[in-house]
Amino acid sequence: MTDNVAATVALTGSAGRMGAVLREQLRDHVSALVLIDRVPTPGPLAPGERAVTVDLRDPAATHEALAGVDAVVHMAGIPDEAPFADLLEANVLCTHHVLEAARRHGIARTVLASSNRAAGCYPNSHLTNPADPVRPDGLYGVSKAAVEALGRMYADKFGLSVSCLRIGSFEEVPSEARHLATWLSHRDAGGFVREALRSGSPGSFEIVYAVSGNPRRFWALTGSYAPVDDAGEYAGVGDAEDVGKAFDPAAPQSGHYAGPEFTLPHLPGT
């Protein structure tokens, strides 16, 4: 095992877009990797990998799937705006089942996928710190604020070690002007997760913005991981008008996600 990462790590949402990347980023840094998703894991398993098909909405099945692991990286869930009932089930309830399994098994470290959109309504002029009050930009952001609250409660009440990563714009390369501030590269995503697995002690809790080292970023880098990639290398993304709109000091940091039209289709009766 290298990099002093916990020996056996469970990765939920392993068949998803981010899960697939983290699978590659983690497999060489742990002794064993348990791949958990509600759909079968694609591709052949590498040495040290084990796949478990389970629906995290089932608390008993979640508890069984996490038996014998040292740490959990919980990436499963709905990754965008959706009806609130669906978000509560997939993001909040499933996170509760993961944390409860971690408590009962005595799992040393849990890393939770949060999102920058838990505070996406701060204006671009504000350098947002994880300690600032949440300002969700929609129902999805509310669900991630609830995920953070659950993690805090399990750390304070039950002594779990929990890290919440407020994930930025997870892309192979920046593809729009806003990404000059919000981009999270694949390599840095793996770095943030591995660092979160190495850090922490019983009862510790942290919220960290997972974003590459972009000079124009809206968020304070407060964790111990130093990003290695930089959206400044893609300064040609977007024309002058696009950049001007994306970095209007009064505009919300989450851009169009903060607009009413992004949430209205998911509200009852609209």
Catalytic residue IDs: 140
Cα dist from 234 to 179, 214, 238, 247, whole Å:
9, 10, 10, 16
Task: State the DSSP code for 177.
Answer: T
> Tokens at residue 170, please?
């997870």
> Tokens at residue 215, please?
């000079």
Task: State the DSSP code for 195.
Answer: H
Which residue stretches of the chain are H helix?
17-26, 59-65, 84-87, 94-105, 139-158, 179-182, 186-198, 240-246, 260-263
Cα dist from 244 to 72, 205, 225, whole Å:
40, 37, 30
